[in-house]
Amino acid sequence: MIKKISVGIADMKITRQEGVLITYALGSCIGISFYDPMIKLGALLHIMLPQKQGTDTNVFKFADSGIPETLRKLQAFGAMKSRMVCKIAGGAKMFEMKGPGGLGNIGERNAQMVKMALMKEGIRVMGEDTGANYARTMLLDVGNGKVSIRSAGKPEKFL
Amino acid sequence: MGIQKYEEMNALAIDMLRELGSIGGGNAATALSSMLNAKVNMALPEVKIMGFNQAMHLLGHPEELVAAIFVEMSGEMHGVMLFILTKEFSDAILEKMLGKSSADFLALEEIDTSVLTEIGNIVISSYVTAMSSLCNVEVELSVPQFTVNMLGGIMSVPIAMMGQHSDRIMMITGKFKIDGRALDSNMLLLPDVESLNVLMKKLGVIDG
C-alpha cells in the first residue's frame, strides 16, 4: 500500500523515497511539483493567488512567496536546484468573470506569476497542463517522479 | 464599530445572518417550487466561518462532479452566490422541465444547460431580492455563469476571491430538497467582510 499524502489549498508537503503527494481539484489555483530524482525527494505546492500583499503570514497561499519557501525547504533536505524537475498544473478559468468586482482571469495570472517566480529561481518548467476551463487533480509519485493529472471525463494524463 | 475579520462576528450578528439566509432561502424555495410544480423543502440555513480546506470538503469530496451556477454581487454588497446541484438534483430538474430521463452530465445539451442556468438564476435572484428588500441594500447581480466541474475547483473560485485578504471564508448555506427526496442542492452566499458591516449597520446590529 503506497502512502498518499494530501496537500490542501495554500499548503505544501514534502516527502522522500516513496509515497504519492496528491492535491485535489485545482481550479484557478496552481499545483507545482518539485522533484530531485537523485535523492528521490519531492514536494507538491498548492498556491491560490499570484502575489503576496501586506503582512499575510500564510506563505504557501501565494506564488511569489510559496515557491522560494518550498525551494528553501527542499534544499535544507539536500535537494539541488540544478537537478530539480518542476511541473505545473491548474490555472483554469472556471467561470467567465464579467462582474465589476471580479478578479478577472485569476488562473492565467497565477500561471504567469508561477512561471516568473520559477524563472527567478533559475528553474525550468518541464511539464505543464494549465488553462482551459476544468478542474484538475495532480499527483506526484515520489518513488519514480511521475506526475499525473486527473480530470473529469478525460483520460489520466502524465506530464 | 465594524469588523475586520469574519471571526470577529458575535452571536447576534451570526443569528442575523442565519435569519437572512432563512428568509432569502424561503423565497428561493418558493420560486423553485412554482417552477418545478413540486414540493420544495429547505433545511435551516447555517452560517459557517471556516478555513479554506474545510470549505473545500464541506459539501462533499473535492473530486465529485457537480453543476454550479455562479453570480457575482456588486453594489452595496460584494461577494459571490453559488447554487450547486448534484447530478441527481439536476436530473430531477431536467426530468420535470424537459421530460428527459437521465442526461450525460459531461455532455449536456444547450437546452439542458440553459434550463439549469435559468433555474439557478431565478433561485439566486429571489434569494437576493428578499435579502436586499429586507435590509434596504442595493445589490446588483452579474450574468449567471454555468459549469459542470469538480466541486473543489468550483469552490476554489470564491476562496480565491476572498483569500487575498482573509484566511477564512464565511458562507451562509441552504439545502433544498424536491418532493422530500434526498436530492441535494446547496445555495451558498459568500459576502466579503465589508458587506457584512453594511448589513449589520443597516439592521442595527452595530452602530454606524
Choose among A85, A88, A64: nearest CA to A74.
Answer: A85
Residues of A in contact with B53 (CB under 8 A): 8-9, 11
> Rounded to whole angstroms, how far apart are CA atoms B174 and B158?
17
Distance CA B116, CA A88 (A): 33
Partner-chain contact B160 A106, CB within 8 Å: yes
Separation of alpha carbons B41 and B29, rounded Å: 7
Beta carbons of A54 and A86 less than 8 angstroms apart = no
pLDDT averaged over 10-residue windows placed end to end, chain B, 208 residues: 84 89 90 88 88 87 93 91 91 88 84 93 91 91 93 91 84 84 82 90 77
Q: Cβ contact (<8 Å) for B142 and A10? A: no
In angstroms, the CA B40 to CA B69 distance is 19
pLDDT at A150: 94
Counting Cβ atoms within 10 Å, is residue B50 exposed (0-12), middle (13-18) or buried (19+)? middle
Mutate to test the interface with A, among B156, B161, B166, B195 (most CBs of A within 10 A): B156
Q: To which residue does cell 449567471 refer? A: B144
- Whether the CB-CB separation of B130 and B124 falls below 8 Å is answered with no
CB of B147 less than 8 A from some CB of A: yes
CA distances from A122 to A68, A125, B8 (A): 11, 10, 43
pLDDT value for B166 = 83
Q: Does B199 touch chain A (CB under 8 A)?
A: no
B148, B151, B156: residue with CB nearest A28: B156
Residue ranges of chain A with per-residue pLDDT less than 50: 100-101
DSSP string, chain B: ---SSGGG--HHHHHHHHHHHHHHHHHHHHHHHHHHTS-EEEPPPEEEEEEHHHHHHHSS-TT-EEEEEEEEEEES--EEEEEEE-HHHHHHHHHHHH--S---GGG--HHHHHHHHHHHHHHHHHHHHHHHHHHT--EEEPPPEEEEEEHHHHHHHHHHHHHTT-SEEEEEEEEEEETT----EEEEEEE-HHHHHHHHHHTTSS--
Residue in chain A nearest B146 by alpha carbon: A95
Asked if the C-beta of B78 comes within 8 angstroms of chain A's C-beta atoms, the answer is yes
Q: Measured between alpha carbons, how far is B157 from B111 in angstroms, rounded to an integer?
A: 26
Q: Establish if B1 touches chain A: CB-CB under 8 angstroms.
A: no
Q: Which residues of A are catalytic?
A: 29
Contacts of A101 in chain B (CB under 8 A): 72-74, 78
pLDDT of residue A101: 47
Q: What is the pLDDT of residue A98?
A: 61
Q: Could you give the domains of chain B?
A: 6-202 (3.40.1550.10)
Chain B residue closest to A57 (CA)? B167
The answer to whether B155 faces chain A, any CB pair under 8 Å, is: yes
